[in-house]
Chain A
Amino acid sequence: MKLREIQALLKAEVVCGEEYLDKDIEYAGASDLMSDVLAFGRAGLLLITGLSNAQSVRTADIVEAKAIIYVRGKKPDKDGIELAKKKGIPLLSTRLMMYKTCGLLFSHGIAGIPESEETK
């Protein structure tokens, strides 16, 4: 699923990275705990989070996430946006809560992080 379709599905605002909306997303993971993302994240994931400080963007860069979706209408601070622009990570913000965001994406074919990574 293209990031652009995800944006439409979640009625999300593009905070930055309009030029990356044609990226293909296969799987996603949701957490507010960045250590969990670092432990279980996988390169190429779509990160769904309610943590809107710059650490969310740093974590996405470190694990090589393709994009971040902030839930509950949150948006990252200026430092986070600057870093995302520099690193080429698109940031989206949806008004939906995390559970609904995940449910919608899952029911539209976005998988979870592949099993082997979860049980490692």
Chain B
Amino acid sequence: MNHGEENELTQTFDIQGGDFAHAGSVSTKIKEILKEVGIDPAVIRRASIVAYEAEMNVVMYAQKGTFTLRLTPGQIHFRIEDEGPGIPDIDLAMQEGFSTATEEMREMGFGAGMGLPNIKKNADRFLISSLVGRGTMLSVYIFLRPEENP
């Protein structure tokens, strides 16, 4: 299999913080792209859940963010960077049920403290870093074949 650059697809989307009306539209687009290139449906489903939860986090908590999809023959990579409040205690944020959501977020059906654990559960590799007052970066890999797993 050729792993050269011609087999890669990279696309970056902007996410507007607080834009609840369009929340989820980036994930919908990403799902469509993954379908078009013929990725296995079970993998698409996992990737879509990751994308949606990550996008919702940016919409709910940050001022703005970018979502970069990088697709190579072996893996799907998502990099989500936002300018926002950051996460003071990542270990705490990773616990199921821990949430700092507002009433508005809960009315959207989110903010139950399941987002980050959900992302981790569906990822093959999950990296998170955050700087309080600056923002949060998520890097998520989903492997297309088990043998890609390092």
Whether A79 lies near B52 (C-beta < 8 A) is no
Residue from A32, A58, A63, A120 within 8 A of B28 (CB atoms) = A58
With a 10 A CB-CB cut-off, give which of A34, A35, A79 has the most chain B CB atoms: A35
Whether B49 and A62, one on each chain, are in contact in the complex, defined by CB atoms closer than 8 angstroms, is yes
Residues of A in contact (CB 8 Å), total 24
* B27 lies within 8 A of A39 (CB): no
A59 to B45, CA, bound (A): 11
**CB neighbours of A64 from chain B (8 A):** 41, 45
Known contacts A43-B45, A55-B109, A62-B48, A38 near B24 by CB under 8 Å: no
**Minimum distance in angstroms from A40 CB to a CB of chain B:** 9
In residues 38-89 of chain A, which contact B (Cβ within 8 Å)? Answer: 38-39, 43, 49, 51, 53-56, 58-59, 61-64, 79, 83
Q: How far is the CA of A79 from the CA of B22 in the complex (A)?
A: 9
List the B side residues contacting A34 at CB < 8 Å.
Answer: 108-110
Residues on B lying within 8 angstroms of A by beta carbon are: 21, 23-24, 27-28, 31, 41, 45, 48-49, 52-53, 107-115, 117-118, 121
Give the B-binding residues of A (Cβ under 8 A).
32-39, 43, 49, 51, 53-56, 58-59, 61-64, 79, 83, 120
